[in-house]
Amino acid sequence: MRHIDTEHGMLTLLRLLQDGRFHSGQAIGDALCISRNAVWKQVQRLESELGIALNRVRGRGYQLASPLVLLNDAVLRDKGLSDIWPFHIYESVDSTSAEATRLVAKGVEPPFLVLSERQTSGRGRRGRIWQSPFGVNVYSSLVLRVQKGARQLEGLSLVVGLAVMRALRASGLDDAGLKWPNDILVGGKKIAGILLELTGDPADVCHVVVGVGVNVNMANAQGIEQPWTSMKLELQRMVDRNEFVCVLSRQLHEHLSRHAELGFAAFQEEWESNHLWQGREVMLASGTQRIEGMVLGIDRVGALRLSVGGVEQRFSGGEISLRLRDDRRA
């Protein structure tokens, strides 16, 4: 079900312009049952509130400066998403993971998926902001119930990474690969990230919110601290976000079902074979601590194995940053 969190007329206008054609102010006014002046005000709001650029041509009207593919309930259902798990689409939320947590508190039964056209306070690992412009990427959070304690969570974020990688490869990005612990890279640039959050009692029944952000049709952005890319930039074409959400959900469902049955050990070899930094010299940062070593792989619960001065050490945890040793960014 779609929840409209911004004024209906502005979103109706956006859906009208989605076809990429010019629409005159008069035609838009007739379609929305508003005046030409009201049309102009809605256009202003599209640009100022949602950051959507429009072309204006006298005598022709308004046109989206860049194509846009909005998430669509009916299309997602036709493509089978509701057969995988229930889903909720929002026009705008602070973050899909925060909204997912609120839905759990209201009694919504997992599993379910939260999607949004944009996030106003999207979160990444280590407190970073996840850039979330309107209508171009996939911002999603999947809620799962965990009934057998925290052990069921071992290696879960790495399994999710495999699923995201497989979805990207199925969409044409054959060189998508993994970076421990939660990033997916293409050509050395980040294209997707994962953030897991727990609610409830980890020793008993709890919920895990699996946040996944994928750069789909983003072509430019400011304030991102590391090299990034998108599906559109790599494939040189627009990607149907509705189609990709379904491809991603099928991969997630398959991988999560297998993980619940077999545990992370069943994925260890596959994960290592797709780790782009296997055998590389890296610098690991945890708080003020800096450790240099060579990546040996991961263990049976997903911890990173490093050779540090010829001695193997293992590392795990959400506040760890990993860089190639010749990369000076912290």
Binding residues for biotin: 119, 123-125, 190
First to last CA, the chain: 41
Q: What is the distance of C-alpha 186 from the center of its chain? A: 15
**Active-site residue identified among 79, 125, 166, 250:** 125
What's the rounded Cα separation, in Å, for the pair 88 and 96?
A: 10
323 is a catalytic site residue: yes
At residue 187, φ and ψ (nearest 5 deg) are 60, 35
Measured distance CA(21)–CA(59) in Å, rounded: 13
CA distance 88 to 143: 12
The CB density around residue 235, as the number of other CB atoms within 10 Å, is: 12
Catalytic residue among 79, 118, 166, 190: 190
Cα–Cα dist 161/181, whole Å: 8
Other beta carbons less than 10 A from residue 155's beta carbon:
25
| CA atoms of 328 and 99, how far apart (whole Å) | 36
| 224 contact partners, CB below 8 Å, separation of at least 6 | 131
DSSP letter assigned to residue 217: S
Q: How many helices (H) and strands (E) does the chain have?
A: 10, 15
Burial (CB < 10 A; 0-12, 13-18, 19+), residue 135, is buried
Residue 322's closest CA among 190, 210, 211, 212?
190
Supply 56's token pair.
Answer: 């204006």
Q: Six-digit token pair at 208?
A: 């895990």
What residues act catalytically? 125, 190, 323
